[in-house]
Structure 1
Amino acid sequence: MQVVLNSGDTVKLTKEDVLVERKGRDDFALLEGSHFLTLLDTNVTRELKEEGLVREIIRAVQTYRKELNLPVDLRVDLFIQAHTWLQNVLVEHDELMQRNLILNNVHFEGKPDMRSFHVEGNEIKMFIKS
C-alpha cells in the first residue's frame, strides 16, 4: 500500500509497518480474544456503589454472627447505628439484606455493647440480638 504524505512524498507501507491496536474509550475496558471482543463499562454508578457498600455490611454482619457462634439458621434482630444516608441505603436494599442474612428485623437504634465496624470508611455500630 502506498501513502501520500502532506509534503507530496509517497511512502510504501507493508503489513509489518502497520500496527492496529483496539482501545476502549475512557471508562471502558476492552478485552479481545481469538473469536470475541468485549467492551465493559467501568463507570461505577451510585447504585453500584451503594450495592457494594450493602454487600460489605452483609459480610461484616456474617463475620459478627460467626464470632458470636450463632447457628447459621438462627433468626436474629439486627440493631444498627450509622449515618442517616447509610440507613436510607440499607432500607433501599432491604431485600438484599433479607436474602443474605437471616433476620427478624433491622432496627436503626442504639443498644448497649454495640460493636463498631468500619466499612469503606464509614463507622457502623451493630448489635445482634438472638
Structure 2
Amino acid sequence: MSLLGAEGNLSGLLGSQRFRAIAMALFIAGALLVIYGSLNPRLSVPGSAARSYLVHFVAYGGLAVMGSLAMPGNRSIPLVGVGLVIMGGAVEFAQLHVPGRTGSIEDAAVNLCGVTLGCLAGLAIRRRVARPPGGRHRESF
C-alpha cells in the first residue's frame, strides 16, 4: 500500500462515527482522570517544577487533540479549547482548597499553552484528513 493510499484509509477512519465515539470516550475519561489526579494529594508529580509543567502541558495538550478529533466541525475546536481552559482554571482554584495541593497561575498558564498547541494540532490533523491526496476537500470530518 502506498503512502497516499494509507492516508486515504486514515481519512476514512478518523471521519467515522465509531472513531468519534471512541475519541469522545477517551476525551471524557482523560478529563476525569486529570481532574482526579489534580485533586488527589497522593498523586502529585514528584520532582522539579519543570517536570510538573511538562505533565500539565502534555495532559491538557492531549485532551485538546482528542477533543478536537472527537467533535465534528471546525467550530467545535474553540469550544473544546475554552472548555479545557475553564476546566484547568477551575482545577487550579479547587487545589487551593485541597490539603496537600497548591494551585498556581503558572500551572494554569502551562495548561493554556498545552490546550492551544493541542487545538492547533487537532485542527491541522482535521485539515489534512479533510484534504486527502489529489486535493479534493472532504466535508465529512
Task: Answer yes or no: same fold by TM over 0.5.
Answer: no
Which structure shows the bigger proportion of residues in helix conformation? 2
Which structure shows the bigger proportion of residues in strand conformation? 1
Bigger Rg, structure 1 or 2: 1
- TM bucket, shorter chain: 0.3 to 0.5
TM-score (norm 1): 0.33
